[in-house]
Structure formats: C-alpha cells, structure tokens
Chain A
C-alpha cells in the first residue's frame, strides 16, 4: 500500500489489567456526509465516545477493504465505515460500491475469526448528528462487551514475528 500506515497501536500485554482497557474503534467517514454528520453531533452538543478515532476519506467507496483488515491487524478493536445515504453520493455511485463490498467483507472477517459486532457500516447524512452519536455509542458498547481483540498479540502468541528457541541440530561429524 503506497500511503503511510497509521501509527502502530501497541498490543495489549499478556496479563494486563482489563479495567483500564478502552476499546479503540477506527471510523472511516466520508467527507461529504458522514464527517459532516459527526461535526453536526458536536455542534448539537451530543456526547459520543472518545474511543472512536475518525479517519476522514473523500468517499466511503475509497475505503479499500485492505484498510479495514489493516486496522484490525494493527490493533483496532472495532471498525466503523460511514458513507452518504444511498442515492446521495457526491460521486454518484461511490457508496454503491461500499454497499456491494460490505456483505462479502463481513463474511471474510467472520471466517478469519472476528466477531461480527466488531465491524459495522452505516449511512449517515450531514444532518444526522444524532444517528452518528447513537451508532458510535452502540458500537463502542458492543466492542466493550466483546473485549479486546488484540490481534497483534494473538498472532505473536501463535508464533508470528518471533523466532522459536531452537536446539541446534548437532555439530558436524
């Protein structure tokens, strides 16, 4: 992927206290509707969780599925993708592509071992500040209920990224 990746999120250390754990949710919001919707939530003085880390993109259709798998692989506990309501895409059909991708993407993530509640997509228009606050609250509570995903730590535990301590085969004879 040519563009720089987000700063790596440190894996949760084994045995770390879960009391201090807070879900980290990456939200990809489209510039034209959903980002303005999040803005509207702020203007309306609605509270929504600080756990949602917003990445603004020009169109939800631009959210390559690789960005979503990459977010989970680098330590996100949940991913939210928001775009314009169907029929309102600034680019006419960008969010149609999002819509067509999501069911297959969801299937892949579940078959890879993720819980379905960690991934969600919604259509949020510029005026739907309340809806934005509601779904961010919902996904945060759902992910909190599911617990830390800690994908990097789980891969590490299965032997990815560190060598095994090996005994030498033996000295040559």
Chain B
C-alpha cells in the first residue's frame, strides 16, 4: 500500500448533519481511517484555514464539502478547497441543491436581519445591533465575512466532480461511494456526476400501494394518521416522491412519512417543484378549475414544500 489517501471535510451553510452522517458509516470508519488520513475537518479537530492554504495544490485526494454557499468566507474556502483537491464532492442536499438554507432566497438580507436581530419575540436588542462586514474600534478594524443576497449551490461557485445528494446522504450509499473511490472504481470524473443515488424517482423504490384514487383533500402530517400500505400522495399527504431522485430506499415512506424531496430532482427533471406541479395536476380530483383552485389553496407554503431542498438549483431560484 502506497501513501494513505488524504481526505478533507468542510461545512459551509449547513446544519452539521452531513458531518455527522459521515460518522454514520459506523465501524467502517476504522476501514476508512486505515486507508485515509484526515487533513482538514473543522467539526472534529482544530484545523486553521492557513493550514489548508499552506498545502500544495491538489493535496487532497478526496474532499467532501457540505453546505450551501451564502457568505464570502464560504465561497473563499470553497475556491481554496477546489484548488487543493483532486476530487471535490458536493456532499448533501445543501451543497448539491441549496437545501433548507436556500429558502432564504425568498426574502432579502434586510428581511433576514430583521427576523434574526430585531423582530423575534425572544430577542433583547435595544441598541438594534447588527453584524457588519467592517467595524472600527480602538483595537483597529475588525472584519466579518459578508452575507450574500442569494444562497448558492457549490456548483455555482466552483467546478464539482461528484455530487452525493441527500439530507443527509444515506450511510450505505456514502460507504459505497468511498469504497469505489478507494478501489478506483468511481465513474469517470466529470462535471457533477451523481453518486449514491439512482436516476429514477423515489416512487420506484417505495412499496406503498397505488390504488389510482384521485386526491380530494390535502392533509398535513400532524392532521391525520395515514392508512398503512397506501400511497401517501393518494391519501392527500404531499409526498415529493414523484419528483425526487431515488437512492435513499424510500426510508420516509417506509415509516409512513411523506417524502420531503431531499435527494433533489430526479433524472430527467431540472426543476423539482415544477415537476411536482406537473405530477399533482394529474392526481387532483377536480373537474373544474375552481375546484382545482380550492384544492391547491389547502396547500400551506407551496414553495417551501415543493422546493424544500432545491430552491437554489431551481429555474427561478426564488427572489424578492
């Protein structure tokens, strides 16, 4: 065995769940550690950006970057890691499609600051302080990274070799990807090849029975208990299965929970929400347009539901 593989992990605008999901591979971690050394992983050990800047170019054999890009710091580190990595993987829904943070694209920086620093009832901020990119004090000029008006996917700022979607990616699929990388069996490196998933929709993996019943009422998860064994969408629970890439093994629908769409748009689809509108159109029990309008007016927060994980990679990307 030659020198060990050099691996890096970084989080940008994410929740940390992706970092944890890497640990979810369990005892197989020991195998990973046997084959690879971690040279950068802010969540688990103390590394400085300067350390990474000091590595030679293409130092990392494999770099997992999770989280969306929404600040100057995150973009800078993404560019740095691109330069220092031979293989860069967009890991998880946020890096791949914008994820939950991208829902911020439906508002403005001012709106975000108002909610985070002023309007929330639990806040106490009488001086109306807000973070500023530059603050002058007795100690000199202090700087903070700048928040972007738009949440971006990793692909928006750097070239990505592979994408491992999911919120978070499923452990077995992650391990498959790592194994095939270590064994040199990954598909040819190209712009954003999808790993750890299929091209088909989640419905393809879901075992619930379709009874070809049309939807006559929408329900939310907390409002009713779904009947076991029956397609959730037909029962009126908005299940993103038809528009969502498979690979997770339909974990949520197995637990009678509607698919939230975390693997992003399926193979032939570019815009997940619009694909879902297309699918729902054929499923509504509506003979007139008024009835269709009544039905869809029952849907609370359509953009947040249909684009929960993919707003930043959608056609329109959300904008106010």
Contact = CB atoms under 8 A, between A and B. Distances in A.
Given A69-B271, A70-B315, A158-B149, A113 B277 contact: no
Q: What DSSP secondary structure best describes chain B's contact surface?
A: helix
Nearest to A151: B316
Given A155-B319, A173-B50, A108 B302 contact: yes
A10 to B, nearest CB: 18
A73 B315 contact: yes
Interface string A66-79: 10111011000000
Nearest to A101: B281
22 contacts: A64-B274, A65-B275, A66-B270, A100-B281, A101-B277, A101-B280, A103-B292, A103-B296, A104-B302, A105-B274, A108-B273, A112-B303, A112-B318, A113-B316, A158-B319, A159-B149, A159-B152, A163-B75, A163-B157, A164-B148, A171-B53, A173-B54
Contacts of A146: none
Interface residues of A, number: 42
Interface string B261-280: 00000001111011101101
A58 interface: no
Contacts of A18: none
Nearest to B292: A100
Given A1-B268, A69-B315, A103 B289 contact: yes
A4 to B, nearest CB: 13
Contact of A1 (B77, B270, B273, B293): B270
Given A66-B270, A103-B289, A161 B281 contact: no
A75 to B, nearest CB: 12
Interface in A70-107: 70, 72-73, 96-105, 107
A113 B320 contact: yes
A149 B269 CA distance: 25
B106 A66 contact: no
A101 B278 contact: yes
Contacts of A111: 106, 302-303
Contact of B274 (A66, A99, A151): A66
Interface centre among A111, A112, A151, A170 (most CB of B within 10 A): A112
Contact of A2 (B49, B76, B268, B288): B268
Nearest to A158: B150
B274 A65 contact: yes
Nearest to A5: B270
B152 A154 contact: no
A164 B269 contact: no
Contact of B296 (A107, A154, A158): A107
A166 B303 contact: no
Nearest to A67: B274
Interface in B271-307: 271, 273-275, 277-278, 280-282, 284, 286-289, 292-293, 296-297, 299, 302-303, 306
Contacts of A68: 274
Interface residues of B, number: 50
B226 to A, nearest CB: 22
Contacts of B320: 113
A9 interface: no
Contact of B286 (A1, A2, A100, A113): A100
B282 A97 contact: yes
A113 to B, nearest CB: 5
B198 interface: no
Contact of A169 (B53, B270, B288, B303): B53
Contact of B277 (A2, A104, A159): A104
A154 B149 CA distance: 11
Nearest to B305: A108
Contact of A160 (B75, B150, B270, B277): B150
